[in-house]
Structure 1
Amino acid sequence: MINIGFGANLVLGFFVILGMLLLYFVRIVRPELSRDEDIFFATLGLIYSCILIIHGWRLDPILLFSQVLIISIILSTGWENIRLRGLIAKKIKDQITYPKKK
């Protein structure tokens, strides 16, 4: 039986879905920032969000709070990772465009 109720688990699941879709669409929008393992992590995140949406009604408050903390840490770390990839790509592009003089 599938029991989907509106609650914090549904909101968390949609945040994870949004984050994983953004990670997947980085491959289309900025291919220089994407890595091959991003598809693997996006797929795992989508599976995790589906499980959270479908079975999240069984979480007691402390487990739900732990899921909130885990999801916020993962999404912020992913955001930082993509931002750092952009800075590295820009640095490499600048070094190719303007090589250092010896």
Structure 2
Amino acid sequence: QVLLKWKSAYMQVQKDINESEREQHWVFDTKRLFDTTDYMADRCTELLEIVNVLDYYYKLLGAQLKQVLTEQKGIDRLLKDVEKLKKPIESMSFDPFERKAMHN
């Protein structure tokens, strides 16, 4: 959210300056200003989605369900499968925030 807030704050200030009576307007290369932060914001959004999905399954398969069901081994097996979903992320051989490394 910080990265997105930076962009929206910049855009608002730029708009205010450009609509003002000032002679000097803000005309900067927005691609250069925001390309990296937009990319990082996208990666953060993707990681947050992963965290939210994992959290959902941990809550769904948590202690309350175990109290209700008699077959807890099946739940434990599912929880292990959910744990396995984290492995590819934990063992990444590249920095997901480094654009150059994405397709290695």
Q: TM above 0.5, one fold?
A: no
Structure of higher RCO (CA pairs closer than 8 Å, 6+ residues apart): 1
TM-score category by the smaller chain?
0.3 to 0.5
Q: Which protein has the bigger helix share?
A: 1
Q: TM-score, normalised by structure 2?
A: 0.40
